[in-house]
Amino acid sequence: MALVREITPSVIWVGAIDWDRRLFDALIPLPNGTSYNSYLIRGSQGTALIDAVDITKMDVLIGNLNALGIKKLDYIISQHAEQDHSGGIQKLAKLYPKATIVASGKCKELLVAFNLVSEDRVMEVVDSQKISLGDKTLEFIHAPWVHWPDTIFTNLPEEKILFTCDFLGSHLATSDLYAMDEATVCESAKRYYAEIMMPFRQNIRKHLDRIKDLRFDLIAPSHGPLYSHPNFILEAYRDWSSENVKNQLILPYVSMHGATKAMVDYFVDAAIARGISVRQFDLARTDIGELAEALVDAATLVIGSSTVLAGAHPLALYAAILTNALRPKTKFVSVIGSYGWGGKMVEQIAGTIPNLKVQLLNPVVAKGYPKASDFQALDRLADEILAMHKELKIA
Ligand SMILES: Cc1cc2nc3c(=O)[nH]c(=O)nc-3n(C[C@H](O)[C@H](O)[C@H](O)COP(=O)(O)O)c2cc1C
Ligand SMILES: [Fe+2]
Ligand SMILES: [Fe+2]
Residue 1 has pLDDT above 90, yes or no: no
Compute the average pLDDT of residues 123-150. Answer: 98
Global pTM?
A: 0.96
Residue nearest atom 22 in ligand 1 by C-alpha distance: 306
Residue 58 confidence (pLDDT) above 90:
yes
Q: How confident is the prediction for the chain on average, in pLDDT?
A: 98
* Distance between first and last Cα of the chain: 55
Binning pLDDT at 50, 70 and 90, where does residue 98 land?
A: very high
Q: 121-144: b or e for each residue (b if 16 or more CB lie within 10 Å)?
A: bbeebeeebebebeebbbbbbbbb
Please tell me the distance between residue 89's alpha carbon and the centre of ligand 2 in angstroms. 15
Cβ–Cβ contacts within 10 Å for residue 11, how many? Answer: 21
Q: 204-217 pLDDT, tens per residue?
A: 999 999 999 999 99
Q: Distance between CA 211 and CA 216 in Å, rounded? A: 9
Pocket lining: 240 vs ligand 1, CB cutoff 6 Å: no
Is the CB of residue 35 below 6 angstroms from any atom belonging to ligand 1? no
Could you tell me which of 262, 312, 299, 253 has the C-alpha nearest to residue 391?
A: 299
Residue 154 reports pLDDT greater than 90: yes
Residue 176 CA to ligand 2 centre (angstroms)? 22
Cite the DSSP H helix spans in the chain.
58-67, 83-86, 89-95, 105-113, 182-192, 201-211, 231-241, 259-273, 288-294, 314-326, 345-350, 372-391
Per-residue pLDDT tens over the stretch 5-29: 999 999 999 999 999 999 999 999 9
Domains of the chain and any CATH numbers: 5-241 (3.60.15.10), 246-389 (3.40.50.360)
**φ and ψ at 294, to 5 degrees?**
-65, -30
Phi, psi of 60 (to 5 degrees): -65, -50
With a 6 Å cutoff on the Cβ, whether 348 touches ligand 1 is no
Average pLDDT, integer, range 178-205:
97
Half-sphere exposure of 352 (CA within 13 A, CB side): 25
Question: Could you tell me which of 230, 193, 205, 201 has the C-alpha nearest to residue 215?
Answer: 230
Task: For residue range 216-248, list pLDDT tens digits in order.
Answer: 999 999 999 999 999 999 999 999 999 999 999
Nearest to 124 by CA among 103, 107, 110, 152: 103
Q: Taking Cα atoms as reference points, which of 124, 179, 131 lies closest to residue 155?
A: 131
SS3 of residue 192 by DSSP = helix
Ligand 3 centroid, distance to 121 Cα (angstroms): 22
What is the Cα 169 distance to its own chain's centre?
A: 8
Q: Max CA-CA distance within the chain?
A: 78
The 8-class DSSP code of residue 361 comes to P
Alpha carbon distance 125, 122 (integer Å)? 9
Per-position b or e across 353-381, b if 16+ CB within 10 A of its CB: beebebeebebbbbeeebeeebbebbbeb
The model's confidence at residue 387, banded by pLDDT at 50, 70 and 90, is: very high
In terms of C-beta density within 10 A (0-12 exposed, 13-18 middle, 19 or more buried), how is residue 98 classed? exposed
Strand pairing class (311-312; 34-36): unpaired
Pick from 317, 335, 339 the residue to mutate for probing ligand 1's pocket: most ligand atoms within 8 Å of its CB. 339
Beta bridge partners of residue 29, listed in sequence order: 23
Q: What is the distance between the alpha carbons of residues 326 and 295, in angstroms, rounded to a whole number? A: 9
Ligand 2 midpoint to CA 249 (Å): 29
CA 40 to chain CA mean position, Å = 25
pLDDT in tens, 306-323: 999 999 999 999 999 999
pLDDT digits (tens, 9 = 90+) for 34-53: 999 999 999 999 999 999 99
Instruction: Give pLDDT tens digits for 339-365.
Output: 999 999 999 999 999 999 999 999 999
170 and 223 Cβ atoms separated by less than 8 Å: yes
Alpha helices by DSSP H, 173-228: 182-192, 201-211
